[in-house]
Amino acid sequence: AQSVTQLDSQVPVFEEAPVELRCNYSSSVSVYLFWYVQYPNQGLQLLLKYLSGSTLVKGINGFEAEFNKSQTSFHLRKPSVHISDTAEYFCAVSDRGGTASKLTFGTGTRLQVTL
Amino acid sequence: NAGVMQNPRHLVRRRGQEARLRCSPMKGHSHVYWYRQLPEEGLKFMVYLQKENIIDESGMPKERFSAEFPKEGPSILRIQQVVRGDSAAYFCASSPGASSFYEQYFGPGTRLTVT
């Protein structure tokens, strides 16, 4: 079984400040890792994914995340946020291989960017 | 290239009625996933289907819920005799294949309100 923990339910930050959204996971097998963003009343959009290779992954809208296997973490970062980054962010994992491709999501972190 | 389509976007049902949620995957995608998002929670996997086959229904409630993905037409998530606790956003996602590393593309969701 897998689980994803997003420790911060809300993160307030001023515009142009850096931000880190934390994600830890637990799994008995190797996983792929994802970050999704959800704007109000919309579906989820993929920000970035870690499949293999370099542990630093760059995504859309200036976001990046670092996979840390020893700490089972996949924290999302952005060096300078914009008002338009205000949204809900979800970390997710899925099993490597086989057909078990369902995603297991964390409970989400609401990023609130203010002036 | 149209994305994943879901309809209706909003659905209101009285307790005891039936709810039918439709999902048309992206062109060329033959794998569909349904997720449920309860208020203030992350998305929870419900069911994974291919054309005419249910591959994984481990997240489906045992009673009142069913899903299908016929050879022709959209995937349908059916909830019989709805109760207040069924009120949630239901998201459909599609992918071109079964492997975990294929990105799942999400639709805008159907928001079900049970009165």
The 10s digit of each residue's pLDDT in B60-104 is 999 999 999 999 999 999 999 999 999 999 999 999 877 666 789
Of the candidates B99, B68, B93, B112, the one whose C-alpha atom is nearest the C-alpha of residue B3 is: B93
Give the per-residue pLDDT at A113: 97
Give the per-residue pLDDT at A28: 85
Look at the block and give the residue holding tokens 């999704």: A36
Partner residue opposite B101 with nearest CB, options A42, A51, A102: A51
**Distance from the A48 Cα atom to the nearest Cα atom in chain B, whole angstroms:** 10
Number of H helices, E strands in chain A: 0, 12
Give the burial string for A32-58 (b: 16+ CB within 10 Å, else e): bbbbbbbeeeebbebbbbbeeeeeebe
Of the candidates A26, A23, A43, the one whose C-alpha atom is nearest the C-alpha of residue A91 is: A23
The 10s digit of each residue's pLDDT in A12-61 is 999 999 999 999 999 888 889 999 999 987 889 999 999 888 999 999 99
| pLDDT band at residue B1 under the 50/70/90 scheme | low
Partner residue opposite B91 with nearest CB, options A44, A94, A95: A44
User: Which residue of chain A has the CA closest to B39?
Assistant: A107
**Mean per-residue pLDDT of chain A:** 92
Binary contact (B100, A101; C-beta < 8 A): yes
